[in-house]
Amino acid sequence: MKLAVISLNTETKNLSQYYNSQAEGLAKALAGMGHELTVYHPVPDLEKEQECLIKGGIQIVYIRCRHIGKHALIDCSLLDADKVCYITASDNYLFLGKFYRWCRQNKILCLPYIGVIHSNNSSAMKRKIVDIFCNNVKYYKGIPTIVKTPALEQNLRKEGAKQIFCVPVGLDEERLRQDYKEYSIDTLKKQWNYRDTDKVILFVGRMTAEKQPEKMIELFSQMAKKDSTYRLLMIGQGELSERVKNKITTYGLNDRAVIYEKVPNDRMWELYRMADCYINLNTHEIFGMAILEAMYYENAVIALRAPGPELIIENGVSGYICDSENALVQRALTADKDAVGAAAHHHVTECFLWERSAEKIAEIILGIVGKV
């Protein structure tokens, strides 16, 4: 089948340097099954109208777009209408209505693949505004839609949606460091200026309210008071960056906490491998690609309860889910990645690789449009 994967949010052209693209991971897996795949990335500041390249057996197309904030406004004339289906990362993005109509006019299946339907903005007023103007539920109720978590499937069924399929996201194992076990954890710690005895807490995520980076500083302060060997390593940038840095200073943690705004994707495995535990504080976490990667590298993931962690983690077996901040701190203080690491890696490779998700999505498409 001739298929395409498109995101209706804006992206940056160098995204793959720092992040494993879900769109490209899925497309690559579908291409491995014999399908013809194109991935579209809307980029507001692209110098040319569009740029194309071939990577991993798929066609990558960057298209210049107008935008309102993170909402891409795409010129559909730049898209290939000779497709059976566009797998569409549409969530609560503004452009879905127009894009769906373009697909329908060209007799193409528009198949949303989504993680959220409502805003998670920390401001109640902004949430309300976004939910009014960016409400795509009416489309998800009327057309086949794939969701990433059972929690979202349940929510949409309550809204009256009938054609809902649940398929988790996955990892592209070829982009991961598969020989990670050959590298000494102590050696990796030295490369990142840690001592063998340091206990490294890893936090990866945008410095935005829903990720709770300021709360991470508060919780780490409690841990550091109980054990002076704890160190906090944070990866991310965003609107709260300065506030987080100031909080580190206020709590007197400048010698124990460090922030890297960006780490090249081909070095992130070192951090997942060497850290003693990985902490996720986002109670709205859709899925958590960083959680999957941490588990792949046999880290002990400790997360507050949220749809993504509940789906990914087998509590107490391949990681830990906590119902309170106090419980999370206590779990972090006693975390033993040797106890859950092997199970975490096995669970990810058995259940959360793109090849498995791609098979399910291909079956869904064939079930809707028939064999082409």
pLDDT tens for each residue of 14-58: 766 667 899 999 999 999 999 999 999 999 999 999 999 999 899
Instruction: Based on the fold, state whether residues 154 and 205 are members of the same structural domain.
Output: no
Contact 344, 319 (CB under 8 A): yes
pLDDT value at 371 more than 60? no
C-alpha span between 367 and 205 (Å, rounded): 37
Instruction: Based on the fold, state whether residues 342 and 255 are members of the same structural domain.
Output: yes
Domain interval for residue 207? 175-351
pLDDT value at 121 more than 70? no
C-alpha span between 94 and 98 (Å, rounded): 9
Instruction: Based on the fold, state whether residues 253 and 209 are members of the same structural domain.
Output: yes
Average pLDDT over every residue of 112-127: 79
Instruction: Based on the fold, state whether residues 185 and 120 are members of the same structural domain.
Output: no
Instruction: Based on the fold, state whether residues 18 and 44 are members of the same structural domain.
Output: yes
Domain CATH code at residue 328: 3.40.50.2000
Average pLDDT over every residue of 345-366: 98
Tell me the β-bridge partners of 54.
59
- The number of domains in the chain is 2
pTM of the model: 0.92
pLDDT value at 288 more than 90? no
Instruction: Name which of 100, 110, 13 is nearest 63 in CA terms.
Output: 13
Instruction: Based on the fold, state whether residues 15 and 93 are members of the same structural domain.
Output: yes
Instruction: Based on the fold, state whether residues 112 and 227 are members of the same structural domain.
Output: no
Tokens of 102: 């373009």
pLDDT of residue 118: 79
Instruction: Based on the fold, state whether residues 82 and 115 are members of the same structural domain.
Output: yes
C-alpha span between 67 and 51 (Å, rounded): 18
pLDDT value at 225 more than 60? yes
Classify residue 169 by its DSSP letter.
-
- Convert the pLDDT of each residue in 165-213 to its tens digit: 999 999 999 999 999 999 999 999 999 999 999 999 999 999 999 999 9
Rounded to the nearest integer, the mean pLDDT of the chain is 94
Instruction: Based on the fold, state whether residues 237 and 135 are members of the same structural domain.
Output: no
φ, ψ of residue 115 to 5 degrees: the values are -120, -25
Secondary structure E strands in the chain:
2-7, 36-43, 50-55, 58-64, 66-68, 71-73, 85-89, 109-114, 145-147, 164-166, 199-204, 230-235, 257-260, 277-280, 301-304, 320-322
Instruction: Based on the fold, state whether residues 86 and 68 are members of the same structural domain.
Output: yes
C-alpha span between 37 and 4 (Å, rounded): 5
φ, ψ of residue 205 to 5 degrees: the values are 165, 160
SS3 of 198-235: the string is CEEEEEECCCCHHHCHHHHHHHHHHHHHHCCCEEEEEE
Instruction: Based on the fold, state whether residues 43 and 102 are members of the same structural domain.
Output: yes
Match 């082409």 to its residue by tokens: 372
Instruction: Based on the fold, state whether residues 23 and 72 are members of the same structural domain.
Output: yes
Instruction: Name which of 331, 333, 325, 329 is nearest 313 in CA terms.
Output: 331
